[in-house]
Amino acid sequence: MRICETENAHIDRDSRLTTVGGGALPFPNAQFNKKKAQFVFDEQEKCWKATIIVAGTHDGPYTFAPGQIDALEPTKKKCVVGPEIFRIFIDEKTEKIKMFTVEPLADKPSGPPGFYVLAGGKLPQPTTAA
């Protein structure tokens, strides 16, 4: 079992911000891994993963899908998402994050869209083909 070390897996603050589309910027006190779960390398899935809780206070304009969903103005609401399995896939050549996935473990808002909803945003309804 390999344990993720921040330097090796590039899970530093700047990488997280880039990976989640700047998602933590409007949550300046964001705690990406509030309970400090260890990321473990999953040989079968070829990713680093941990069950995490993410928390922060919505203090700036936020959208997780620029150009598709309008930014939500600051609400000062404290938002907590999780527990969720956060998987980080690293490019073997560059050793940088190439993709991440979020798997909700509870029937409640999760991931970047979860922050949007918990801060007071409304997700657009899916359109149906006529």
pLDDT given at position 27: 81
Is 82 in contact with 121 (CB distance < 8 Å)? no
- The reported pLDDT for the residue numbered 103 is 92
Predicted TM-score (pTM) of this structure:
0.69
Q: Give the HSE-up count for residue 9: Cα atoms under 13 Å, Cβ half-sphere.
A: 21
Q: 23 with 112: CB under 8 angstroms?
A: yes
Angle ∠(95,4,14) on CA atoms, nearest 5: 60
Structural contact between residues 43 and 82, judged by C-beta atoms closer than 8 angstroms: no
Q: What angle do CA 57, 13, 60 make, to 5 degrees?
A: 30
Q: Which numeric CATH code is attached to 6-118? A: 3.10.450
Strand partners, 88: 48, 100
Q: What is the mean pLDDT of each run of 10 residues along the chain (130 residues)?
A: 39 41 64 82 91 90 88 93 90 83 89 90 78
pLDDT in tens, 85-112: 999 898 888 878 888 888 999 898 888 8
